A and B are shown apart, each in its own frame.
Chain A
Amino acid sequence: MTIILIAVLFATGLGVLLAAVIGAAAKKFAVETDPRIETVTDMLPGANCGGCGYAGCADLAKAIVEGRADPSLCPVAPPEGSQRIAEYLGITTTEKEKVIAVVKCSGSCSVTVRSPYNGVGDCRSAALVAGGAKGCDFGCIGFASCARACPFDAIEMRDGLAVVHPDLCVGCGKCVETCPKNLIILAPAAVDVHVYCNSPEKGALKRKVCKTACIACRKCVKAADSEEQMTIKGFLVETNYSSPPLPDLVEKAACPTTALRLASLHAASAYEGVSK
């Protein structure tokens, strides 16, 4: 009987002693945290994508409260969200333009020349082996490294081509870092017209390996409201994102290789009208 009593007393005593020590330590070494940090963290989207450059939403919230960062830094939050945080903290925020990722390639398996490749199924590995399995050295390799990197599942692999869904993409830039071909750009979301080709090679060379390459025929440049809307860089035409063309350009230009596309349509369905 005594031994049970002693054991119970000993265990209770130990528990009380340790509780007292922890309690005292928690009081003595208490760290003052700004309660606003938690509120701001809750106001942020909580995606923890790291697109802002901070280690997750809580870290950004801390930086915002301490005045080191602007609420608009979060690529995921809509402008109203950033505005709400700014109002809560009583600071002003600049409005940022929403950007989305654009994979500048339209070379799906059915329109490109491919060689067999049995190596590691990752674009970064494939890029080391003769630049990937595609005939085109500048296009999408198609092993979905970007789709795996995307925290929002906004990139779909369709017939060996990475396709961004503009409605899901928040423009965090994770895919941009991942792509070994530097194929993905962050373009203003308001612009819908893009040239889905990245190859600077001569038109004839490009057409040999890819049916939907941009051959710089200038049809779109001529069809545009002003020539500035499309810029020509060597054998490749690009959308001028500082003075972008209107979406109807795609219809007006009737791109012979269909490299000129609307991002929304490109994502909505696979392009059927590939010229022969």
Chain B
Amino acid sequence: MADNILAITIGAILVNNFVLSKFLGICPFLGVSKKLETALGMSGAVIFVMTLASLVTSAIYKYVLSKPFTINGTTINLTFLTILVFIVVIAALVQLVEIILLKFSPPLYQALGIFLPLITTNCAVLGAAALNVQAGRGVIASTVFGTCSAIGFALALVLFASLREKLDLAKVPVPLQGTAIGLITAGILAMVFMGFSGLV
């Protein structure tokens, strides 16, 4: 069990990094990486939501969706509703978290602020939930995978934001300025992360 968790941790953070090797969550990766400060805020929100979402969705899958039942002699398996149910559940969950945070922890709400609703429809969050189902992980392993994937996302985002802050001051040829040089940098960063392949 412990071996498995360690493998999931390293695998999710470095080897199969969500952004740099699975290409999930590219939108916030490019959108909120202009400043290190906002990148850190987004990272915090993603870690928070992905952990919760992985926990809830894997529990729902394990105890509701994957249990076939029989009505009038026909066996019904609801697993084909997985994606649909996950989207609705994640969206509702984020809404709920937002309401509760605003009530009980205004400072945390301020810090995560606008990032929470942004994450609602983020493919990385849904991706983590769907990958958990594919790999057939249990609830605990799923939650660990969700957290570690989010940490991997945060790592990539913070690295990329730091690079972009430096790039702002560099002399970039006019046609490559802005997002273009950002995408080139992201590509190089992805190649760097390829160096981790085979680690797990």
**A interface residues with partner B (beta carbon < 8 Å):** 2-3, 6-7, 10-11, 14-15, 18-19, 21-22, 25-26, 29-31, 120-122, 125
- Cross-chain contact B99 with A18 (CB below 8 angstroms): no
Q: How far is the CA of A121 from the CA of B172 in the complex (A)?
A: 11
**Interface secondary structure of B, over-half rule:** helix
Q: Which residues of A contact B84 (CB under 8 A)?
A: 11
Residue of A nearest to B69 (CB): A6
Interface flag for B199 (CB, 8 Å) = no
Say yes or no: A121 contacts B171, CB within 8 Å. yes
What residues of B have a CB within 8 angstroms of the CB of A3 in the complex? 74, 76
Beyond A14-B88, A18-B88, A120-B170, is A7–B99 a contact (Cβ under 8 Å)?
no
Whose C-beta in chain A lies nearest to the C-beta of B80?
A7
Interface on chain A toward B: helix, strand, loop, or mixed SS?
Answer: helix
Pair B92/A21 contact, Cβ less than 8 Å:
yes
- Whether the Cβ atoms of A2 and B74 lie closer than 8 Å is yes
Assess whether A14 is in contact with B85, with CB atoms less than 8 Å apart: yes
Instruction: Compute how far the CA of A18 lies from the CA of B74 in the bound complex, rounded to whole angstroms.
Output: 28
Q: Which residues of A contact B71 (CB under 8 A)?
A: 2, 6
**CB pair B81 A7 closer than 8 Å:** yes
Mark each residue of chain B from 103 to 144: 1 if its CB lies under 8 Å from any CB of chain A, else 0: 110000000000000000000000000000000000000000
Q: What sequence of 0s and 1s flags, for each residue 59-99 of chain B, a beta carbon within 8 Å of any chain A beta carbon?
A: 00000000000011010101011001100110010011001
Q: Are A122 and B169 in contact (CB under 8 A)?
A: yes
Contacts of A11 in B (CB 8 A): 81, 84-85, 88
- Say how far B81's CB is from chain A's closest CB, in angstroms: 6
Q: Does B200 contact A (CB under 8 A)?
A: no
Task: Identify 8 new A-B residue pairs, CB closer than 8 A, beyond the known A7-B80, A11-B88, A120-B171.
Answer: A2-B72, A3-B76, A11-B85, A14-B88, A18-B89, A22-B95, A26-B99, A29-B103
Q: Does B100 contact A (CB under 8 A)?
A: yes
- Of all chain A residues, which has the CB nearest B75? A3
